[in-house]
Structure 1
Amino acid sequence: MRLYIRYMVSLRCKMMVREELKKLDIQYAIVELGMIEILEDITPVQRKQLKENLLKSGLELLDDKKSILIEKIKNVITEMIHYSDELPHVNYSDYISEKLDYDYTYLANTFSEVKGITIQQFIILHKIERIKELLIYDELNLTEIAYKMHYSSVAHLSNQFKKVTGLTPSFYKQLKDKRKANLEDL
């Protein structure tokens, strides 16, 4: 039996969910981002208690099919951008469609209807967040980041970054360096 959880987007969230399952003595096989594979059916009382306990941690046990599908889409994108070493070399639409085994048009329409933004806009927002991380870690230069994040050029990355954040990547990186310098002056 599978259960789906909204806002479960990090390793810390997975640890919290495992703890809640242990507390309720619910046997599980898998705890992934946004999903739990439970070994046996749970009672309505256990489900209610799990739902309440997860809510206290900022997580939400999902019940309706559209919400579950949206969470699956978000988790595929989050995993693809933040947790894989390399982005797929196929179109994101093909990748998402293949991963979820749904027609992309259906996924895109459902996502837009529920979230109010397109899947592509959601991907761009996550790519920009990932770029911010890479800029802060200072391990790659902008050309390497553009290549890693599948931008056609540094100019394309810079334009999209500025459109979303209002800052250039260079200025964003300088802000980090200034904050670091200010802390050292204390």
Structure 2
Amino acid sequence: MEQQTSLLVENILYIKNVVCPRCIRIIWEQLTLLGIPVVQVSLGQAELSRPLLAVEKETLKSALEEYGFSLLEDRKSRLVEQVKTS
């Protein structure tokens, strides 16, 4: 449960390398294909309507890595990514 809490803050996933509308579309499509209820996707993050299950998280990580994206699972990684993109 601790790991899931660090991944989701108010049902928000932080995703590395989401830099354009095409990236946003790919993230949206992958979430939808996996049956994960998505509310909104924007640059660097996706808002879900509920927390991810552990198995969903692992499946999503694999699916996103195929397209060059990665989940930012801890606060430090998110901060570093925010500084890089600012």
Give TM-score, length-normalised by structure 1.
Answer: 0.39
Deviation of 1:74 (Å):
3.8
Corresponding residue to 2:33 among 23, 29, 37: 23
Name the SS of the counterpart of 1:30 in structure 2. Answer: strand
Q: 1:70 Cα shift?
A: 2.0
Summarize the alignment of residues 63-82 of structure 1 with structure 2, pairs less than 5 Å apart: 63-75=73-85, 77=86
Structure exhibiting the larger radius of gyration computed from Cα positions: 1
Tell me which amino acid in the other structure corresponds to 1:25.
Answer: G
Higher strand share: 2
- SS of the residue corresponding to residue 14 of structure 2 reads strand
| Matching residue of 1:12 | 22
Q: TM-score, normalised by structure 2?
A: 0.81
Alignment of 1:1-186 (within 5 A): 1-75=11-85, 77=86
C-alpha distance in 1 between matches for 2:18 and 2:66: 13
> Paired residues, what number?
76
Structure with bigger helix share is 1
Structure 2: state its 5+ residue gaps. Answer: 1-10
| Separation (CA, whole Å) in 1 of partners of 2:67 and 2:16 | 11
Give me the identity figure in percent: 36
**Structure 1: unaligned runs, 5 residues or longer:** 78-186
Residues in 2 aligned to 1:68 and 1:26: alpha-carbon distance in whole angstroms: 22
Q: CA RMSD in A?
A: 1.2
Greater relative contact order (Cα < 8 A, sep 6+): 2
